[in-house]
Amino acid sequence: MIELITDRDIYEKVICSRVPKAKKFLWLATADLKDLHVDKQGKMVPFLEILSDLVRKKVEIRLLHAKEPGPAFRRDFDKYPNLIGGMERILCPRVHFKSVIIDGKFAYTGSANLTGAGMGAKTADRRNFEAGIVTDDKKIIGEIMDQFDRIWRGEHCRQCKRKQFCADYEDLLLQ
């Protein structure tokens, strides 16, 4: 299955329907990271609460992002202390791709950042116009995972011309 999804469908088909069902791992890549809120049993909660729930279920979470999150995200993050040790995070200023990979069996890749406006959680007159694909095709998922993993392992770090903007550069070289 390969399906093009846009706008609100990204929120519904990826963030609300698939992410909470992750069993083994969840990899998230985004350029921008803000205080996305999602529906959880009829109540709007920070997306970080969903991630915290997954950490409690021993789901491994990796977050790859390009810049520090906004202040509301950081305040919400402090409400979920299990994320500190339960979610791995790398900041790479060159990351601009957006993807969600769940258990190596489902993936989203497209234009939407991990924000309310990007993922379609906001009202129709406030959200961004976004597009992407969702898939369960193993070959496509493998290619999305390979890109994520190469950056995660720091393959590009030694030759990167933006080291001065990278908070995690030294740590990546030690891996």
Return the domain boundaries, the chain: 2-174
User: What pLDDT was estimated at residue 168?
Assistant: 56
Residue 175, pLDDT > 60, answer: no
Q: Span 7-20, mean pLDDT? A: 90
Residue 80 to residues 50, 119, 153, 164, Cα–Cα distance (Å): 10, 22, 26, 30
pTM above 0.85, yes or no: yes
Q: What is the pLDDT of residue 162?
A: 60
Is the backbone of residue 143 left (phi > 0), alpha (psi -120 to 50) or beta?
alpha
- pLDDT band (50, 70, 90) for residue 28: very high
pLDDT higher than threshold 80 for residue 156: no
Q: Are 108 and 131 in contact (CB under 8 A)?
A: no
In this predicted model, which residue has the larger pLDDT, 108 or 113? 108
Domain 2-174 has CATH 3.30.870.10: yes
Sheet arrangement for strand 25-30? 2-6, 131-135, 106-110, 98-102, 25-30, 60-65, 87-91
**Given the structure tokens 């990979």, which residue do they identify?**
101
pLDDT higher than 80, residue 75:
yes
Question: What pLDDT is stored for residue 63 in this prediction?
Answer: 95
Alpha-carbon distances of 82 from 32, 59, 72, 130, 142, rounded to whole Å: 22, 12, 18, 31, 29
For 36, list phi and psi in degrees, rounded to 5: -60, 130
Kindly give, in sequence order, each residue whose CB lies less than 8 Å from that of residue 164, ignoring residues fewer than 6 positions away: none
